[in-house]
Amino acid sequence: MTKIGKKVNIRANQSLERYLQEIGEVDLLNTEEEIRLAKIINYKPDEDPENVDGKKPTYSLREQQTALEKLTQANLRFVVSVAKQYQNQGLSLGDLINEGNLGLIKAAQRFDETRGFNFISYAVWGIRQSIL
C-alpha cells in the first residue's frame, strides 16, 4: 500500500471511530417514546377525520422531522451491529453502516406503531435489505 493509501485508511478509521463514539452518547428510547415519535412522524392532518374541530394535536413539518431524527439517531448503534455481521464481503464497514442508516430512515418513515411491534423489530428488515 502506498503512503497516500495508508493515510486515507487512517483517516477513514479515525472518522469511523469518532462516529461510533458519537452515536454511543445518544440515549436509547423506551417503547412509549418510540410510539410517541412514530405518531408524530406519521401524522397527516388531512387524513384525520376526527380532527375537524382542531382539538387533537397537530404537528408541523419541523416537529415531524425532529421526531424522525430522534428516532433514527437513537437506533444508529443497532445499524452498526447489523453492519458488522456483513463485514469482509466486499464493502467497508463505513459503507455498510451508511447503507444501513438509509434503511433505518426508511423504516422510521414507514413504521406503523399501531401494529404492536417494537420499532427495532420492524427496522431490522429495512436495515438488512439496504445493506444487501
pLDDT, tens digit, 9 for 90 and up, residues 69-104: 999 999 999 999 999 999 988 888 999 999 999 999
CATH number for the domain that contains residue 19: 1.20.120.1810
pLDDT, tens digit, 9 for 90 and up, residues 33-49: 999 999 999 887 666 55
Residue 79: what residue type? V
Q: Rounded to two decimals, what is the model's pTM?
A: 0.81
Number of domains in the chain: 1
Q: Which domain holds residue 15?
A: 3-131
Q: Report the C-alpha gap between 100 and 71 in whole angstroms.
A: 15
